[in-house]
Structure 1
């Protein structure tokens, strides 16, 4: 949908003046367990999103249709036919109010079309003062196609649906998921691969709910200080914001813009009759394509050609900011030139959105960075409750770049100061952009070749160019990274990491080296330019004895696959393992120096967990009291697989390994660590032989993860594992993850395909090439502190795999 439609000034003015601004809630900061209500027209996918949300948050799903029938003893349709419109209307509102009142916490609530009535919307508006009420929308053509509506009926439905905006406090655009193609037509063989269904929708909506509830922050608190998920971008060094104008989005393939940016700065620079829905779609598209936070900014010149008064322009400006808050953007830019009352109101209702107070001088003038007015604006932003402040100044003098540094040093000297973004505009300000540490605006090579000069700022560097400048000026040092293990000759890790360094503009190198002992690892990692190492078998458990500090995950798993250096730092005489000291280390990644100890983490479980979340079908959603998992193997990857299942909520896990003693050791480790998570204190149980029948009293496994090599490693024969048929009796199928990828088509996967064909059970297959890049992406981010170019790393695996088909397993 094009967003560059220009209205005549009179039409624009009329649209802005008639625009009704929804009542701003006093706050969007709800208790984490507040029930969440989904409203919207038929065909927008509320029921599906409700199920996804309830599953992700571990909540009860309440649907208005079922609740009405439970309370009245009759379906809505039958009630209407029996008692007529007036009584149905009265009873429907009564039941809705009862449903909302009795479920204020711990639920996902899906409202039917009864939400269109005036009294129902009045009740929902009242409910939105204490709970999130999300207005779900999607493309009009998609709704019309799904419901098979004619033009007039579709237009009436869309017009009526807009009333939902006034009784909600949040908005979610349910972007079309191509993986849903063909869902209405069963495959010819009755099988299909359900793994790909709704993958993107599940990820999009789950991330939205994580931000809304703060669950993402709570989960990230378990991350190590080296994880970029544990620190917001404004707390990390040298983060970049891809500057993207709304008027150019329709001309770009957003997936091509992935290049290490930490956020997207979405600039609203044009007006349209359907602006709110277009904004919602653009925000959803950016999130799906790039997966980074959004900085929402409204450009002043949207209103320049109108005849609106200054007060009307300010009203329109804050109305658009309110739209951004409804969409749950992570950051919002508010121009400090506007009234304190309006700014304070936006801050008060911002919820989890962080507000950036913005001060801009487009024209060069006499004041400099040392002018006291800058500090006055800083203190005003701080007093208004802004989370950050951004100062931007046009200049034609390169010397102004030095005064920016002086200004930032002055801010840094203030105790508990706000994060500050400061740089000069224009060609002469480029070095100030490069040295700016937070959300430096950047462009992208694709935009430089496809977007007109008038629509992008040519003086902006790309993220890669900005990073290269840091290496050239020795702000960052080139570092050596390794993949270390007993058999790494045919590893795909160097290809993935090297490609990521090139995309991000880093001067690092990555190589695989065979090692035979922990001493070999220690010797390589003592180089002052050592940046980090991926550790593989058989050293993932052994290496813990050489690690000074471990992440929560590595401790829980009892294995580490990632080794990071801890360096001697200036004015820092001891390594106490505290969060503060580790944060200092994390913010020094990219710098060489003497190494005094190691930090250990584990990303293997993240690769497995990501693939499980994507591929578990709705019928096999994890239920702690019912779901059973099975892990094959007892090494470091088996430990990660068990931990991933526990993280997903599985509380009944079986293990099988050729050496029973090894399985028993792993089971004892996790049963001790997670004793409080199971009623009998035993989450992990050991199967001693493949000839055993599946244990009585437990459901057949719906999650199966094979963690054994399919080729010879370190002189050990390949496992060539196949499942006993008596263990494959799940009537709903399940998901099978094979971690080995050399060969890609292992004996286990061949067996599951045959079973699937013979039994028609919906077994979903995930091969090793799907898991491998997911753990490597997390590893790259741990090692570098940079956002990984995920798409490029996944592509690199597929492109390079053919070279290793005859090689050894990682």
Structure 2
């Protein structure tokens, strides 16, 4: 295949329209001020308006649309302006308004550009803006745009080709996948809140993308528990795995079935395909939605096989494809360090929040071994070029190379402030080195071994479960016991969820529910040397605070613990302390047995509620500190977590109702002391003393309602069987109602909300306990094991096992 023909695949236009050489761009730094306004450009029908609503809601920013801004400045709509003043004046005015819109809104906004961005002068203005601000080109499946806009083939072709010009004025790219949560709706691109409210998957995808672009994802790490896998990136944790998938094999896979055990996906660009850029963008977006893990973007050597490339053409195209990975905001990008150093440096300079992995591939017949001094020189070169990690891979048929690679890694690790290093052998004899490698070990999946063409997968790669099982066999990791402890745990679904996760990940642990009646019972169980962790439930979530040695900031703020982890003797026999450094060392020793000399307390209940609120709150009910009101029913540990979740979302007016007023007052006092600075009057939480009282005047009706009272008996406590006073359900925009109870699943409260929704046609979104439960359990599994949870399996296990407890 000729170079121009390959480029026609690359940019998706006819061969005769191509330049003779791809120009490699080095202008982008992708390092933006945290509050820099974000611009969305792209074709009509690409979904920019809905994504703008989602982004503005997620980041708490002002949404500006070009159409509205034009009318605000000129006093008439764009269509009226065009009819009144003609094409030439409309073009001139359109560009001047766009320039003004951009320059006057440099920070704190999401800006959606309309079709005016296709004008060449407008694109020059956007290009200049992109030097300091993120400009995201939103793309979508061509056929879907055509159907949405009802275009014939000719008009669809013209729109698509004109739309490609947005790549020249943008520095990032987002592929807007179809969202199945909109099935049955007319989801046109009018950006209406009713449409955006149904975009559950798109909301998660785009919010995560914006967190990466703005660096907000990294800022949140400081607030995480040292035991959270978010507290440390994968390269700083032990035994992380990268599922190796070739671009050409993705159509053969059901990606959502591949999540177990993977900390990342290594996407191997192995072939040129029609409409190459859009194909890569779509598959990156699909991996994110289906698997939700970081992406390692890697160009395989065989991508250029069968091409008529000169060395210069090959290098230009290689870096062009790499730069495209940076446009997509991949978390890691692999660069072959055999290319020119100045090209690598330019790539590093424009990498933004993407981390660069410097890569050396060593072939047995033409390279020296692991013990050769040149390996260390290569490591130093990678560090001097600004790489974030270094990867050494050697093809070998000598089992002795597995020993020398261990020595090489130990030498690197002895260097102060060394870069994370990935090093392993590949081939028939390389598996021991893959098992022992600690960072991003490439793995396959059992499903791939049976469904993907053998030429597209590495037969010698272990699965993540096989690699983990080998660590247990070598006693690098030890089998541990985990518990669900409380007075009423007979109906618990936790053992089913956690056990399924252990099986999927190849972990040799067990999880059981045990009834306990005192803290002494808990302490006795948790002193075993093979204790791995415990889920704490009623009535011990608050009481357990008296025996913990250290506590997360979340659990401290909530005043309740639902997750107990062991703290073991440190290497120098010092007792553990609560410093972050010490706790990080403790976290690195998870999955290993030993003396228990203290406990670490955390709380994942709030995560389950927080995720459900974020996923189900509509843009019409977006949290506004001065307006939004929340209501929590109950005053136990789960109610505390619910209040904390609302505060985390920005709600500053929360009402609490509990049948024992004294307990409610204690909870309110706790949070008003903790959050005193968040409200002008020092009151974030107020107590409703009776369900007979009218809703307090001066406060909006609640749009977030969370019931945290059991619908079954707990110990000597009678079931709550709570229903809302109808007068409290006065929100004209509806809201979201979460019931944390799942036995029974159809609680009196949820039945009531369904009746109210039917009678009033208000948009109340219902979230039942089977949606809340796995969310907190997923976070709990990750805290306890330090492994990424197989979320799909855990959610499925809840639904499959729930019927055993139905009355």
Note if contact 1:10-1:306 (Cα within 8 Å) is conserved in structure 2. Answer: no
Q: State the partner residue of 1:232.
A: 233
Which whole-Å deviations, capped at 9, do the CAs of 1:262-294 have from their partners, x for residues lacking one? 000000000024111111100000000000000
Note if contact 1:25-1:169 (Cα within 8 Å) is conserved in structure 2. Answer: no
Q: Give the SS at the match of 1:243.
A: strand
- Determine the C-alpha separation between the residues in 1 that align with 2:565 and 2:314: 52
Note if contact 1:421-1:439 (Cα within 8 Å) is conserved in structure 2. Answer: yes
**Within 5 A, what are the aligned runs for 1:321-400?**
321-365=322-366, 367-400=368-401
Which whole-Å deviations, capped at 9, do the CAs of 1:300-331 have from their partners, x for residues lacking one? 22113222110110000000000000000000
Moved more, 127-136 or 675-684: 675-684
Which whole-Å deviations, capped at 9, do the CAs of 1:582-639 have from their partners, x for residues lacking one? 1111011011000111000000000000011111122211111111100000000000
Q: State the partner residue of 1:622.
A: 623
Q: State the partner residue of 1:12.
A: 6
Q: State the partner residue of 2:251.
A: 250
Note if contact 1:357-1:389 (Cα within 8 Å) is conserved in structure 2. Answer: yes
Note if contact 1:736-1:763 (Cα within 8 Å) is conserved in structure 2. Answer: yes
Which whole-Å deviations, capped at 9, do the CAs of 1:64-98 have from their partners, x for residues lacking one? 11111111111111111111110111111101111
Q: Give the SS at the match of 2:146.
A: helix
Distance 1:366 1:693, change over 3 A: closer
Q: Give the SS at the match of 1:221.
A: helix
Which whole-Å deviations, capped at 9, do the CAs of 1:704-727 have from their partners, x for residues lacking one? 000000011102110000001111
Q: Give the SS at the match of 2:554.
A: helix
Note if contact 1:22-1:166 (Cα within 8 Å) is conserved in structure 2. Answer: no
Q: Give the SS at the match of 2:585.
A: helix
Q: Give the SS at the match of 2:528.
A: coil
- Determine the C-alpha separation between the residues in 1 that align with 2:81 and 2:305: 55
- Determine the C-alpha separation between the residues in 1 that align with 2:611 and 2:170: 32
- Determine the C-alpha separation between the residues in 1 that align with 2:427 and 2:288: 29
**Within 5 A, what are the aligned runs for 1:408-807?**
408-806=409-807
- Determine the C-alpha separation between the residues in 2 that align with 1:683 and 1:94: 46
Note if contact 2:50-2:196 (Cα within 8 Å) is conserved in structure 1. Answer: no
- Determine the C-alpha separation between the residues in 2 that align with 1:364 and 1:487: 65
Which whole-Å deviations, capped at 9, do the CAs of 1:97-144 have from their partners, x for residues lacking one? 111111111110000000000000001111110000000000001101
Which whole-Å deviations, capped at 9, do the CAs of 1:22-68 have from their partners, x for residues lacking one? 63334111111000000001000101101100110010111111111
Q: Which residues of structure 1 form unaligned runs of 5+? A: 1-6, 187-191
Cα shift at 1:569: 2.2
Moved more, 196-205 or 691-700: 196-205
- Determine the C-alpha separation between the residues in 2 that align with 1:132 and 1:373: 40
- Determine the C-alpha separation between the residues in 1 that align with 2:9 and 2:53: 37
Moved more, 346-355 or 750-759: 750-759
Q: State the partner residue of 1:86.
A: 88
- Determine the C-alpha separation between the residues in 1 that align with 2:145 and 2:26: 29
- Determine the C-alpha separation between the residues in 2 that align with 1:775 and 1:10: 53
- Determine the C-alpha separation between the residues in 2 that align with 1:730 and 1:68: 33
**Within 5 A, what are the aligned runs for 1:28-39?**
28-39=30-41
Cα shift at 1:571: 1.8
- Determine the C-alpha separation between the residues in 2 that align with 1:119 and 1:313: 33
Q: Give the SS at the match of 2:430.
A: helix
- Determine the C-alpha separation between the residues in 1 that align with 2:21 and 2:161: 15
Q: Give the SS at the match of 1:108.
A: strand
Moved more, 106-115 or 304-313: 304-313
Cα shift at 1:442: 0.1
Cα shift at 1:182: 1.4
Distance 1:174 1:15, change over 3 A: closer
Q: State the partner residue of 1:176.
A: 178
Note if contact 1:488-1:514 (Cα within 8 Å) is conserved in structure 2. Answer: yes
- Determine the C-alpha separation between the residues in 1 that align with 2:238 and 2:326: 27
Q: Which residues of structure 2 form unaligned runs of 5+? A: 11-18
Note if contact 1:195-1:615 (Cα within 8 Å) is conserved in structure 2. Answer: no
Scaled by the length of structure 2, the TM-score of the pair is: 0.97
Distance 1:166 1:612, change over 3 A: same
Q: State the partner residue of 2:203.
A: 202
Cα shift at 1:260: 1.5
Aligned counterpart in structure 2 of residue 119 of structure 1, from 115, 121, 140? 121
Which whole-Å deviations, capped at 9, do the CAs of 1:676-729 have from their partners, x for residues lacking one? 111111010000001000000111111100000001110211000000111111
- Determine the C-alpha separation between the residues in 2 that align with 1:454 and 1:280: 24
Q: Give the SS at the match of 1:11.
A: helix
Distance 1:284 1:13, change over 3 A: closer
- Determine the C-alpha separation between the residues in 2 that align with 1:295 and 1:13: 24
Q: State the partner residue of 2:27.
A: 25
Moved more, 255-264 or 19-28: 19-28
- Determine the C-alpha separation between the residues in 2 that align with 1:452 and 1:15: 24
Moved more, 326-335 or 217-226: 217-226
Q: State the partner residue of 1:189.
A: none
Note if contact 1:434-1:466 (Cα within 8 Å) is conserved in structure 2. Answer: yes
Cα shift at 1:572: 4.1
Which whole-Å deviations, capped at 9, do the CAs of 1:363-383 have from their partners, x for residues lacking one? 444611010110111000000
- Determine the C-alpha separation between the residues in 2 that align with 1:272 and 1:524: 58
Note if contact 2:709-2:741 (Cα within 8 Å) is conserved in structure 1. Answer: yes
Note if contact 2:427-2:460 (Cα within 8 Å) is conserved in structure 1. Answer: yes
- Determine the C-alpha separation between the residues in 1 that align with 2:595 and 2:32: 47
- Determine the C-alpha separation between the residues in 1 that align with 2:197 and 2:103: 37
Note if contact 2:197-2:619 (Cα within 8 Å) is conserved in structure 1. Answer: no
Aligned counterpart in structure 2 of residue 50 of structure 1, from 49, 52, 70? 52
Cα shift at 1:752: 0.7
- Provide the alpha-carbon RMSD of the alignment: 1.5
Q: Give the SS at the match of 1:711.
A: coil
- Determine the C-alpha separation between the residues in 1 that align with 2:8 and 2:752: 67
Q: State the partner residue of 2:156.
A: 154
Note if contact 2:23-2:316 (Cα within 8 Å) is conserved in structure 1. Answer: no
- Determine the C-alpha separation between the residues in 2 that align with 1:419 and 1:779: 27
Which whole-Å deviations, capped at 9, do the CAs of 1:338-388 have from their partners, x for residues lacking one? 000100000000000000000002344461101011011100000000000
Moved more, 219-228 or 334-343: 219-228
- Determine the C-alpha separation between the residues in 1 that align with 2:684 and 2:8: 64
Distance 1:432 1:595, change over 3 A: same
Q: Give the SS at the match of 1:800.
A: helix
Distance 1:193 1:40, change over 3 A: closer
- Determine the C-alpha separation between the residues in 2 that align with 1:438 and 1:754: 53
Note if contact 1:13-1:306 (Cα within 8 Å) is conserved in structure 2. Answer: no
- Determine the C-alpha separation between the residues in 2 that align with 1:165 and 1:254: 28
- Determine the C-alpha separation between the residues in 2 that align with 1:362 and 1:675: 63
Scaled by the length of structure 1, the TM-score of the pair is: 0.97
Note if contact 1:13-1:307 (Cα within 8 Å) is conserved in structure 2. Answer: no
- Determine the C-alpha separation between the residues in 2 that align with 1:102 and 1:420: 45
Between Structure 1 and Structure 2, how many residues are aligned?
795
- Determine the C-alpha separation between the residues in 1 that align with 2:491 and 2:548: 27
- Determine the C-alpha separation between the residues in 1 that align with 2:469 and 2:501: 13
Note if contact 2:247-2:269 (Cα within 8 Å) is conserved in structure 1. Answer: yes
Q: Give the SS at the match of 1:265.
A: strand
Cα shift at 1:299: 1.3
Cα shift at 1:13: 6.8
Q: Give the SS at the match of 1:427.
A: coil
